[in-house]
Amino acid sequence: MNTDQLDMVESLHRAGVKPQEIEAALREKFPSVQPVLKDIYNHTAKIMRDGLLGDTPMKQSFISSNAGAGKLSRSNGFTFYTRESDTDDRMEEIFFCHSKSHKMWRAFPEVLMVDTAYNTNMYDWPLVQFISVISTSQSFCIAAAFVIRERQRNFGWALEKLKKMLYDCMEPRVILTNADQALMNACDAIFPNATKNLCRWHISENIRRKFKGLYSKEMGTDFVYWWKVLYQSPTIPEYDHRRLNMERHLIRDDRAGESFVSPDSF
């Protein structure tokens, strides 16, 4: 790309325009020279590296520098905590929460959902997300934490910071997680009085992966329907009743001559 194109990429990038949209704008303005998307990604990456002024991305995110306050710094309304290694000064955990999310967390602390995302950063640290629900059944992000590894000690530290932000408030009554034993143990230790449930979405995805390919398309459609009916059971007796109906229906409706696998096997 020539100088005019590079200047245009930088201007649009700083305005928050996506690389694909930058590419379209360049093709429209410079029809004789067609840059590829990789060129745009390379140049925007250089712009971001130059903006760090020698600092690491982590330092730029949390600490004020010559370029201004970090995006997640206290001057931008964030509360954040960090923990260093016991043997050196290397950071192992980071917890951060915006002031608006903090107010909502104190207003709606009844439900806590915890999930972990992967491959979100250059350090390969899992991102732990804390979610709650308001009175109109809409969810909101309470806070997030980067942890160096998925162990009870690491999850427990982040949950302690989350609990600390509820001073003089009611603690969560219900906590939803996946089946990560370290996370479940940490929730039991920090919030012992809350009811712990497994996330329905994670259970459904696990069943879907194991069920896929075992049966005909028609039976698979029936299974998905009956599974939804089953997990929406409001009481344990109703669950037992629907589970029996599910087994009877699927065995009777097994058009391909396959033997039905009981939900217990999942």
* 44 domain residue, yes or no: yes
Residues 177 and 211 in one domain: no
Of 98-102, 185-189, 216-220, least confident by mean pLDDT is 216-220
Residues 99 and 183 in one domain: yes
The stretch 1-23 carries a mean pLDDT of 85
Which pLDDT value is given to residue 114? 94
Residues 173 and 223 in one domain: no
Residues 231 and 143 in one domain: no
In terms of residue numbers, what domain contains 89?
74-197
* 67 domain residue, yes or no: no
Query: Where residue 68 falls among pLDDT bands split at 50, 70, 90?
Result: very low
The stretch 94-121 carries a mean pLDDT of 89
* Residue 231 Cα distances to 110, 243, 263, angstroms: 22, 9, 12
Model pTM greater than 0.85? no
- Closest C-alpha among 183, 194, 132, 193 to residue 159: 183
Residues 189 and 78 in one domain: yes
* 60 domain residue, yes or no: no
* 64 domain residue, yes or no: no
User: What b/e sequence results for 24-59 when a residue is b if at least 16 CB atoms lie within 10 Å of its CB, and e otherwise?
Assistant: eebeeeeeeeebeeebbeebbeeeeeeeeeeeeebe
Residues 80 and 193 in one domain: yes
Of 122-126, 174-178, 222-226, 262-266, least confident by mean pLDDT is 262-266
